[in-house]
Amino acid sequence: MRSLIRRTSIDGPPRDPAPSRLGYRFQRWMLTPGVRIATKIGVPMLTIAGIAAVWFASPDNRSAFDAKVADTLQSFQERPQFMVQSMNVTGAGAAAMADVATLLPTDFPVSSFALDLEGIRANIENLEQIKSASVRIGQAGALEVRLTPRVAVALWRDGQTLRLIDAGGVRSGQIRARSDRLDLPLIAGDGAEDNIQEALAIFAVSGPLMARTRGLVRMGERRWDIVLDRDQRILLPADAPVRAVDRVIALDTAQNMLSRDVAVVDMRNANRPTLRMSKEAAAALRRGETTTNINGVDH
């Protein structure tokens, strides 16, 4: 039978199993999320980084590593599925194609990773005669370049240079002589290219006069002159020049006005068109010789 009397150890009081205050705080600190993550992830990473730093401290090791990376990258980029075998350029004439060809790679096969498609497209679109371009690598491993050229609608005489311009007034190249593009109307003068739409509208209604029209000249950057053969000029107003051309054609149809000794038809004042005679006709008139006015009456 167990005695109910508590016996006291002769070695002192029993040991308290609870941790000390410092030990308790350390255990609580080790259980915080940040310390746990640092212990499980940070310490191994620091160890690996230290080992790598020691290894990369050697120049020979760094060179070997760089060579291995370059070799691996090259072998990946030169896989058959990434190689461009040929090139196909479409959408433009021979002259434009020749200029574009100078901006494209010539050595094939070439890795698609070595081609800057966006840079190639930008360089092509910097050409005057190209409006836009599409550059892509097709499924057959060909570099496909599709061009949209600028369509010239007129010639602009810029000093001594004949420039092709499109409907937006943008230059699209140049030619050496007027005879190279007789199919295009000619404009000249400062600011002429900025008002190409108005010039085209004037040309559109000048049908009966087109056979004799040499071109349009922009005067004072505000209005147009129609230059005809036989040194005749039609001075158009700044406002409603197309309507003025219609009136000139109507007068010429009714009275053969431009077939006479008229040097200038001044339409700048819509209420009072003015005719200026040629020097020969004016001299003859001063001498009292017979001449003919626009109404067909001899005097």
Q: Place 240 in a pLDDT band, splitting at 50, 70 and 90.
A: very high
Mark whether 186 and 252 lie in a shared domain: yes
Mark whether 145 and 174 lie in a shared domain: no
Mark whether 190 and 255 lie in a shared domain: yes
Residue 204 lies inside a defined structural domain of this protein: yes
Residue 52 lies inside a defined structural domain of this protein: no
Residue 248 lies inside a defined structural domain of this protein: yes
Number of domains, the chain? 2
Mark whether 177 and 244 lie in a shared domain: yes
* Last residue of one domain, picked from the residues 89, 122, 149: 149
CATH of the domain at 166: 3.40.50.11690
156 within 8 A of 165, measured Cβ to Cβ: yes
Mark whether 142 and 174 lie in a shared domain: no
User: pLDDT higher for 284 or 8?
Assistant: 284
pLDDT at 69 over 90: no
pLDDT at residue 298 in the model: 37
The arithmetic mean of pLDDT across residues 195-219, rounded, is 94
Residue range(s) defining the domain that contains residue 274: 154-286
Q: Identify which of 28-42, 98-112, 227-241, 281-295 has the greatest average pLDDT.
A: 227-241
216 within 8 A of 225, measured Cβ to Cβ: yes
Mark whether 219 and 243 lie in a shared domain: yes
CATH of the domain at 138: 3.10.20.310
262-290 residue pLDDT tens: 899 999 998 888 888 877 766 666 666 54
Helices and strands: H and E segment counts in the chain:
9, 14
Mark whether 133 and 191 lie in a shared domain: no
Mark whether 95 and 212 lie in a shared domain: no
Q: Which residue bears the tokens 């219609």?
A: 246
pLDDT at 6 over 90: no
Residue 74 lies inside a defined structural domain of this protein: no
The arithmetic mean of pLDDT across residues 64-74, rounded, is 84
pLDDT at 234 over 70: yes
110-114: long-range contacts at Cβ-Cβ below 8 A with a sequence spacing of 24 or more?
110/83, 110/84, 111/77, 111/78, 111/82, 111/83, 111/84, 112/82, 112/83, 112/84, 112/137, 113/77, 113/82, 114/77
Q: Identify which of 70-74, 137-141, 178-182 has the greatest average pLDDT.
A: 178-182
pLDDT at 52 over 90: no
Residue 37 lies inside a defined structural domain of this protein: no
Mark whether 107 and 178 lie in a shared domain: no
Residue 246 lies inside a defined structural domain of this protein: yes
Residue 101 lies inside a defined structural domain of this protein: yes
Judge if pTM exceeds 0.95: no
Mark whether 134 and 176 lie in a shared domain: no
pLDDT at residue 2 in the model: 56
Mark whether 184 and 276 lie in a shared domain: yes
Mark whether 277 and 162 lie in a shared domain: yes
* Last residue of one domain, picked from the residues 92, 127, 149: 149
71-122 residue pLDDT tens: 888 887 778 888 888 888 998 888 888 889 899 988 888 888 888 999 999 9
* Last residue of one domain, picked from the residues 99, 116, 149: 149
Residue 15 lies inside a defined structural domain of this protein: no
